[in-house]
Amino acid sequence: MIETRLSGKVALITGANQGIGAAAARALAAEGVAVFLTYKRLTPLSDPVYPAAYDQARAADASEVVARIREAGGTAEAVEADLADPAVAKALFDQAEKAFGPVEILVNNASGWLSDTFSPAERDGFGRPLRPVDAETHERLFAVDVRAPALLIAEFARRHLERGASWGRVIGLTSGGPDGFPTEVSYGAAKTTRSLVSYQHAA
């Protein structure tokens, strides 16, 4: 365990059963942070273009991530949660505080990713299946990628102020560029909006 100024802090990390979220959880835990992970198991895409390991990771819980952190001497707990539910933000902070104490680091990583497009194409340039933009795709992406981070930041800030805390960090992970995501319309729009939400908090 490395002794740093982060040692003893508590972090809430969304989408932490795989990928970047899991890596962030392991990295923070290695610095002595108690990490509270959230995840949502997703139905396998079952399309030959996706590696089997990708489907397995999406469908897995966070038990392996938690186990690896504990084996390395870290502290971790995990809970499954659907961030599309507006009531989840408060519930997650309640659970994290019950497990470890007040949350001082919030990592908004989870995404409701899916591929939707305005074009009639059935596959994108990588061969991944596409679907048309509709109310379902738009609502799902914005609920998870925009509304959930905003509600989590609001809950973080409220509790931070109520207890008179002097230190805290909010980390918002996003992606994209000036060209957007022409075959991931709702995802690209949601990611851009998430960047603005995170920036406004930092400002």
pLDDT digits (tens, 9 = 90+) for 75-109: 999 999 999 999 999 999 999 999 999 999 999 99
- Point out which residues pair with 136 in neighbouring strands: none
In order, the DSSP letters of 25-75 are HHHHHHTT-EEEEEE--------TTS-HHHHHHHH--SHHHHHHHHHTT--
Contact predicate 37/66, CB 8 Å: yes
Tens digits of residue pLDDT in 9-49: 999 999 999 999 999 999 999 999 999 999 999 878 788 88
pTM: 0.86
Please tell me the distance from the alpha carbon of residue 11 to that of residue 36, in angstroms, as a whole number.
6
User: Per-residue confidence at 199, pLDDT binned at 50, 70, 90?
Assistant: very low
- Largest Cα span, the chain: 54
